[in-house]
Structure 1
Amino acid sequence: MSKDIILKAENISKQYRLGQVGTGTLSHDLNRWWHSIRGKENPYLKIGDTNDRSTKGESDYVWALQDIKFEVERGEVLGIIGKNGAGKSTLLKILSRVTAPTTGSIKFGGRVASLLEVGTGFNGEMTGRENIYLNGAILGMTKKEIASKIAEIIEFSGCERYIDTPVKRYSSGMTVRLAFAVAAFLEPEILIIDEVLAVGDAEFQKKAIGKMQDISKSGGRTVLFVSHNMAAVRSLCTRGILLENGKIIAEGNIDKVLNIYLKSNHYRNIWTGEDGDNSMKLLKVEIFNKNKNEIFMNTDPIEIVLKVEIGDKFNDIVIGVTICSATGNPLIGLLYNDYNDYNEIEPGIYEVFFVIPPYSLATGDYEVGVNLSIPYVKRFTTEKSNLVFGVTADTDYGNKFFLENNQNFNSVSRPNWFESIEKIY
């Protein structure tokens, strides 16, 4: 059976010149023109560094994308994932025709609606209602077609009270609500979404993901979705593409691609630095088991040690650790103090020990975050510790023991697993 291909990207590459507006100097443009009239290749396509934002590079030119090729079938939901700077947004801008590729071509089998940045395609001076008609006209719809959909669009967006107010007075959340409703209900064959749903609240994100599932399954329309929310990508997408440094390094089933992406964030069991201020700061986090391995067995206890510097005398601090799934969902909270039982603590440098008993975590990858705070007043830690560890089954018995004995995970009876706190300086 032949495939119904609605979008085909062939050898897409995009080159930028660093530190400049446009493609470069007049001499470069003349050089391109001279090569062009002689039927020769653009000479600047032969130079340029790979798109690696963490290195300085040796050229003024950088390839944001290199030789990207893929096909999307009608009704498919394609997830495009990768780290910041991998080229995801550049690819979607090319697919949305916001910018042109340096080389390569794209073939479309239908009209495209894009939601790339908050407010993209909206005129701030026009009302929400007027912008709905404007966007519909851009998509090639008649006024009658738009009018038949406008009540659904306004209801879905939740902005009915402000629909006749200029969009420039909307909050970013209201703007993205209306923009998504317009993009989803005006029936494009291809819907392109780039991370902007993160601006909306949890209720809207859930509603938007449900709508994208509906339009792909029942409407037969195609969705290209970029997000750093791996749980949303997994629930919505059927197939995935993983970008790294402007190149496709994995493509296929979404679970397979997500696993490759998560494993590329190499296991890291030790973090050192300074996160906080002079009143309270985190100096070190270490996760280990008896064998000091990167991947822990589910039969091993897992120890987490924090090194914390306290600069002032406190009566009410929280020192906590959050164990999250690989997709960022919080699973377990470990606390030195809970929010109802505080102990006085003097200035000094402390080591705080937590121990997670054997068979408390199912097999898989986990992230660790740390919280140093005065409850309901101030949080001192401002970033994740960026620690990732893996748990694997010690025997073929796998997770059966965990599944049969995880009653300690309910919120009433779960133990704290705080071990001790020691002043070392």
Structure 2
Amino acid sequence: MSKPVIRVEGLSKRYRLGLKEKQAKTLAGQIGNVLKAPLDNLKRLRDMSRFSIEDESVFWALKDINFEVKEGEVLGIIGKNGAGKSTLLKILSQITEPTSGKIEIRGRVASLLEVGTGFHPELSGRENIYMNGTILGMTRREIDSKLDEIIDFSGVEKFIDTPVKFYSSGMKVRLGFSVAAHLEPEILIIDEVLAVGDYEFQKKCLGKMEDVAGQGRTVLFVSHNMEAVSSLCGEAINLVNGRIDFQGKVREAVNRYLGNSSVEKISHVHVNPEFENGITEINVLTSMPGQIHRFGDPLEVSVKISAKVPLDQANIAFQIKERGSGKSVIYTWLHDKENPLGKLEGQHWLKCIFPKLRLYKGDYDFTFHFSERSGQKNPQKIDNVCPFEVSMIGIPHQFEWTDNNCNYIDDFEWKVI
């Protein structure tokens, strides 16, 4: 049975809000502040010891966190912005000290928490690789054996002898991740910095983390990308307001996270002064927050019709299209001859529901059409609105959900005959 390499007990981190030092405007005033500093700090510490959780000037970034991570485990840490994820990783990386509680870590830790973390801006990329390796306790010979692999993976070989201060944020992330992943730490801690890289590099990073985990090393992974968390991690912790809301199987943790997140409508308001009648507002309700829709979930599309005069054989249609290519993959309509709206006047909402939208993973948007008398009156076209993403989060599949496999998956059944 694998032994714990990380043990966290009663971990809490407290910050005091609203503290702002008063800056002196004169040299004498600044000298006075320096002389008073020890006494002021002592008084501040005494005051903080009296604070309780109800005190409005105290913010608990983490409160009473307890968990273990076993050797070779890939643990996802998820939660909304401000839930305490980054604070937890900073404490585990020994960048920040906890207010109370304790952590035990067995093994060499490599962390990538922020763009350029651990880099010296005046040193070149090559020199920073050696510096980071030395900090991790590696010999020069060990770093030499990994150097070409690190540089090749990072994709910054043309700039490897350029000072890091001239790197873009994406270049820093590439090199930082490559260093952290290739210098063979027992524990790899990765924050949401992968969001800075491009899609292809993110894919390489996820593949590398799978390799690291496959070698029996431990990975802590923070991300808002639930699909990446679901595919990479076996267990996950869902943080809510600095506390552990759920700890267990990653699928349950993701569902808990999504259940705690509010789903917002994707809206488009359209002003159409040319005609008396037409579409004036569109709302799309995806099944997950952040304009993300899970494959197979219901999708709801609402269209507001404003008619200054009675409708005259009105027709409405829309297409769901691939973003980028503009290829139409779904078409739906409400034609007067099949389903008459009648001579409605004023403002009215129409709703179209897909009970199980089985679009394949990818990025999509909508194009809407309105007209009366089969396009002869008040023709209207609203292009490329309400963009959304289809995700395969929580959809079991033996193989990887790779891009561009298809556009749509219909229900099907196999039989042996």
User: What TM-score results when the alignment is normalised by the length of structure 2?
Assistant: 0.66
Residues of 1 paired with 2:170 and 2:251: CA distance? 30
Residues 1:180 and 2:192 aligned together:
no
Q: Which amino acid aligns with 2:83?
A: A
Residues of 2 paired with 1:71 and 1:412: CA distance? 41
2:7 aligns with 8
**Do 1:9 and 1:69's aligned partners in 2 also have CA atoms closer than 8 Å?**
yes
- The Cα offsets for residues 195-252 of structure 1, whole Å up to 9 and x where unpaired, read as 111111111111111111111112x111100000001000101110000011001001
Question: 1:19 offset after TM fit, Å?
Answer: 2.8
Match of 1:243 among 229, 239, 245: 239
**Do 1:111 and 1:139's aligned partners in 2 also have CA atoms closer than 8 Å?**
yes
Residue 180 to residue 245, structure 1, CA distance change in 2 (3 Å): same
Match of 1:30 among 42, 55, 67: 42
- The Cα offsets for residues 357-406 of structure 1, whole Å up to 9 and x where unpaired, read as 555549xxx99986689xxxx9997997x9xxxxxxxxxxxxxxxxxxxx
In percent, how many aligned pairs have the same letter? 49
- The Cα offsets for residues 145-185 of structure 1, whole Å up to 9 and x where unpaired, read as 11111111011111111111111222211111110010011
Residue 137 to residue 371, structure 1, CA distance change in 2 (3 Å): farther
- The Cα offsets for residues 112-166 of structure 1, whole Å up to 9 and x where unpaired, read as 1110111111112211100100111111111121111111101111111111111
Q: Which moved more, 1:257-266 or 1:242-251?
A: 257-266
Residue 357 to residue 381, structure 1, CA distance change in 2 (3 Å): closer
2:187 aligns with 190
Residue 104 to residue 352, structure 1, CA distance change in 2 (3 Å): same
How many residue pairs match? The answer is: 328
Residues of 2 paired with 1:63 and 1:27: CA distance? 25
Residues of 2 paired with 1:350 and 1:367: CA distance? 34
Residue 124 to residue 276, structure 1, CA distance change in 2 (3 Å): farther
Residues of 1 paired with 2:3 and 2:193: CA distance? 29
Question: 1:60 offset after TM fit, Å?
Answer: 1.5
Residue 261 to residue 47, structure 1, CA distance change in 2 (3 Å): closer
1:226 aligns with 222
2:197 aligns with 200
Match of 1:131 among 125, 128, 132: 128
Match of 1:102 among 78, 99, 102: 99
Q: Which amino acid aligns with 1:222?
A: T
Unaligned runs of 5+ in 1: 36-40, 50-58, 289-297, 310-317, 325-331, 338-348, 387-408, 415-425
Q: State the secondary structure of the residue aligned to 2:151.
A: helix
Residue 168 to residue 336, structure 1, CA distance change in 2 (3 Å): farther
2:341 aligns with none
Residues of 2 paired with 1:276 and 1:229: CA distance? 31
1:264 aligns with 260
Residues of 2 paired with 1:109 and 1:229: CA distance? 28
**Do 1:48 and 1:62's aligned partners in 2 also have CA atoms closer than 8 Å?**
no
**Do 1:14 and 1:64's aligned partners in 2 also have CA atoms closer than 8 Å?**
yes
Q: Which amino acid aligns with 2:111?
A: S
**Do 1:334 and 1:354's aligned partners in 2 also have CA atoms closer than 8 Å?**
no
Residue 148 to residue 60, structure 1, CA distance change in 2 (3 Å): same
1:42 aligns with 49
Q: State the secondary structure of the residue aligned to 1:85.
A: coil
Q: Which amino acid aligns with 1:16?
A: Y
Match of 1:285 among 283, 286, 291: 283
Question: 1:47 offset after TM fit, Å?
Answer: 3.6
1:20 aligns with 19
Residues of 2 paired with 1:153 and 1:162: CA distance? 13
Residues of 2 paired with 1:379 and 1:105: CA distance? 56
Residues of 2 paired with 1:10 and 1:411: CA distance? 48
Q: Which amino acid aligns with 1:160?
A: E
1:113 aligns with 110
**Do 1:82 and 1:261's aligned partners in 2 also have CA atoms closer than 8 Å?**
yes
1:329 aligns with none
Residues of 1 paired with 2:262 and 2:70: CA distance? 33
Q: Which amino acid aligns with 1:18?
A: L
Question: 1:307 offset after TM fit, Å?
Answer: 3.9
RMSD value, Cα: 4.4
- The Cα offsets for residues 95-126 of structure 1, whole Å up to 9 and x where unpaired, read as 11111111111111012111011111111221
Question: 1:33 offset after TM fit, Å?
Answer: 5.5
- The Cα offsets for residues 255-305 of structure 1, whole Å up to 9 and x where unpaired, read as 11111111222566x677x779999x98552669xxxxxxxxx9x996511
Question: 1:16 offset after TM fit, Å?
Answer: 0.9
